[in-house]
Amino acid sequence: MTGSALPQPLRPRALRPGDLVVIAALSGPLPAAYEPNVEQAVVVLERMGFRVRLAPLLEVGRRHWWSAATPAEIAAELNSLLRDAEVRAIIANDGGQTAFGYLDLIDIEAIKADPKPILGYSDISLLHLVLFARTGLVGFHADMAVPGFGGHWQAVPATRRAEFEKLYSRLLTGTEAIGALPASPSWECWRAGRAEGRLIGGVINRIALVQATRFAVPLEWFDGAVLFWEEMGGQASYVWSYLQVLRHCGILDRISGMVVGVPREIIGLEAPDASPTLAEIVLDVLGDRDIPVLGNVDFGHAGPNLPMPVGIRVGLDAQQLTLSLLEPAVQPLATTPPAGRHRG
């Protein structure tokens, strides 16, 4: 997209029972040890009422360096899914380190013609940011097959798992706003206040890196936005540095609020007596910017993930520990299938 005006979000079409969702290798490979996770993810998605297919590149043992295939091969498979009218949603199997390699190969016109939910986080959050910047597409920073549906979801109490299943089903099939996301005891108010704005974010290293490319989210689109981010690995000082990048490029001066996910495996933050804490790091970089900050929210690599639909308006009340989706993430079903699309 060109120009600085914030577009209306391009909402994918709502799913309905029996629709086909495809689990695809959009970045990293599928080691044999994680094949049972994919199988369990299929069970979860079928329980939600969907048909499930595995994309060809999602094959145990297939790999190219750290990826499931070359960037060109992954892009070709993604594009075939985007062009296939039968495919109604695409779910990443896992994250990885590959999406940067094919940002220039994605069929943008196919997305505009038939927008579909793409679910994933970590490296996949890069796709959400870039496709939002180029088309306005609402991307679903949400659980994937291996570390999500087939992993973290299996490790939580059955009541919490059922809550997540119902939430994801409503998100993908319902055309009413979700409202307040289900909170948990981990949520913390790091700076009180209320805000409303478009939800924009992802894993923080990808936010910082993509802004250095021609696929960056236009800076003006962060005006009044609620920035969400999470991180895994590295060191506490890296998080501080990424936040400083967002400060220097002007993002922190434009946003109306911030939501921070639960960190995972970050050196310097894992000990109970960590100093500085993640909250102290965030508030140090924010300085006197008086915006609400809600911390330790259930999204990110610690999983399971509350869905964070990029581009949807949210309401944030940090003191009351509430985060609400104020708009639906999908649009009502069309009466006829999208024209000109065919199985690829």
Report residue 320 as tokens: 């009351």
Distances (CA, A) of 210 to 99, 113, 201, 213, 252: 11, 25, 11, 5, 16
* Nearest one of 75, 7, 103, 89 to 45, comparing CA atoms: 89
Give the C-alpha separation, 307 to 141, whole Å: 6
- Confirm if 302 and 270 have CB atoms less than 8 A apart: no
Active site annotation includes 301: yes
Which one of 122, 128, 141, 152 is the catalytic residue?
Answer: 122
The helix/strand/coil state of 155 is helix
| Residue whose pair of structure tokens reads 């639960």 in the numeric block | 262
Residue type, position 194, single letter: R
Which one of 80, 128, 141, 230 is the catalytic residue?
Answer: 230
Report residue 240 as tokens: 């501080």
User: What is the enclosing helix (H) or strand (E) of 203?
Assistant: strand 194-203
Active site annotation includes 248: no
Distances (CA, A) of 147 to 91, 136, 143, 183, 232: 12, 27, 7, 21, 13
Active site annotation includes 109: no
Report the catalytic residues: 122, 230, 301
